[in-house]
Amino acid sequence: MNITTGQRGGGKALPYWSRQSGFPAKYSGLTMMFKSLFELGVAVVLSLSVLVAAHPGENLSTRQIRDEVDNAHVVNIINSRALEACQNNPEVKARKERAIARRAATFARLREERGLNEGEETYEISQRHNNETHMYLAAWLHRRSVADFRKWAALSHNKTGSVDFNKESTNSEIFGSNTSCILTPDNANGPYFVSQEHIRTDVTENVPGVPMHIELQFIDVNTCKPATQLLIDTWSCNATGQYSGVSARGEGGLGTTYLRGVQPTDEDGVVSFDTIFPGHYQGRATHQHLIAHVGATTLPNGTYTGGRVAHLSQLFFDQNLRDAIEATAPYNTNRIPKTSNLADQFTGYAATSKYDPLPNYILLGNGLSNGLFVWAELGLNTSSNWDYYAPHASTWKEGGGYNNPNFNFLAVAFPPPTHG
């Protein structure tokens, strides 16, 4: 898993697909339907037979049931072994204590950078219960997975109310959660992954939006130790729903790099990014993409190449937080209808009965403009290879972005079988 250094050559830009006009001729028929799934949220028009064959739902064949049981069995074995290895492990206890101290220090630093006084109250988001009834597409998600996500979504991950500057609040009460050795289920990668992006912590590039500092800790579930020397790739759309780095019509274009970046994990398996809270687009709840690369090569120009994908997922956020931020500018200029967490076709993939897919967060000051601090711990199997599920739409090279002429759109619509 060592990260090495190397050189990189150039390339030639090639034509690509656009949001409205579709793909080149070879990407037709079913491929266009999957494009509609991601961008228009009209999965109901897809053939149920195709969906069941691609990802089983309510009507499962004997083979599909057997495969699902096998996958669940493997994931449960991994989680059981991980929990056994972590139980009463002094290294795990020490790692948790370091995480608490690190997050507390980060919170203090972020407030100091914003000129916030120690005694100044933090902003609180009202807690509203969403009693809407949502229709789930059985061909996409098992009821079990949806129920798991619903369970975690019913909990608040807002730690802001735990802070009381008039009395001593213990750091463990605020920052001590979300530390485990549970395998984080992978998710569909989506069609906007750009490979070989810049290695950097601050990815904002002055893009307007609510500032968000993300801290992610990666744990190898095989050893219950920090996953060091990974390269973590992250990206999201901007406040009004556009992605950088891709030539699809309506997006930012190949020459843009905003809200994309890569960081190596440190000795505790930790990376952090400064970005903005993502916006939304048609058919999708607010989410942040993640990929973990093993054995990648860093380059002198501050980018990377090679390696294999050991994990790919999406972070989702509390609905109350989403609602509060979406009511502010520039998010509220987006006229595309919002999709709730429970209505998104991919949130169910993110959860298991043991894994909470929603990160904890704390608001930094007395208004959303001061931003928020978000943290999560993710467990992965560093020996996994999910390259097939993570084809890149384009690549960043010298001189700008280059389309991938062999982009496989079908591969990005479904996740690896790590849901238990």
**What's the pLDDT tens digit per position in 231-281?**
999 999 999 999 999 999 999 999 999 999 999 999 999 999 999 999 999
For residue 5, tell me if it sits in a domain: no
Whether 179 is in a domain gets the answer yes
Give the pLDDT band (50/70/90) at residue 120. low
Res 146 pLDDT > 90: no
Q: Is the pLDDT of residue 340 over 70?
A: yes
Residue 6: inside a domain: no
The domain tally of the chain equals: 1
Give the mean model confidence (pLDDT) for residues 326-355.
94
The one-letter code for the residue type at 229 is Q
Structural domain contains residue 97: yes
* CA-angle at 402, arms to 397 and 407, nearest 5°: 125
Q: Given this model, what pLDDT does residue 88 score?
A: 66
> In the prediction, which pLDDT does 186 show?
95
Kindly state whether residue 220 falls inside one of the protein's structural domains: yes
Contacts of 29 (CB under 8 A, 6+ apart): none
Res. 197: pLDDT tops 90: yes
Q: Which amino acid is at 262?
A: V
pLDDT in tens, 345-376: 899 999 988 899 999 999 999 889 999 999 99
Q: Is residue 14 part of a domain?
A: no
In a domain, 204, yes or no: yes
- CATH number of the domain at 287, please: 2.60.130.10
Looking at the chain, the whole-number percentage of residues with pLDDT higher than 90 is: 54
The terminus-to-terminus CA distance of the chain in angstroms comes to 26
CB neighbour burial string for 345-380, b if at least 16 within 10 angstroms, e if fewer:
bbbbbbbbebbbbbbbbbbbbeebebbbbbbbbbbb
Q: What is the mean pLDDT of the chain?
A: 79
- 411 CB contacts (<8 Å, ≥6 apart)? 189, 388, 389, 390, 391
Residue (of 273, 377, 285, 375) closest to 323 by Cα position = 285
Domain presence at residue 9: no
Copy the structure tokens of residue 303.
Answer: 């980018």
Domain that holds residue 110: 24-413
Q: What is the pLDDT of residues 279-294, one digit of tens each?
A: 999 999 999 999 999 9
Report pTM.
Answer: 0.78
Output 229 or 56, whichever has higher pLDDT.
229
For residues 209-214, average pLDDT: 98
List pLDDT tens digits, range 293-320: 999 999 999 999 999 999 999 999 999 9
Residue 85 has what pLDDT? 60
pLDDT tens digits along 180-193: 678 999 999 999 99
Residues 90-112 have a mean pLDDT of 87
On the question of pLDDT at 127 being above 80, the answer is: no
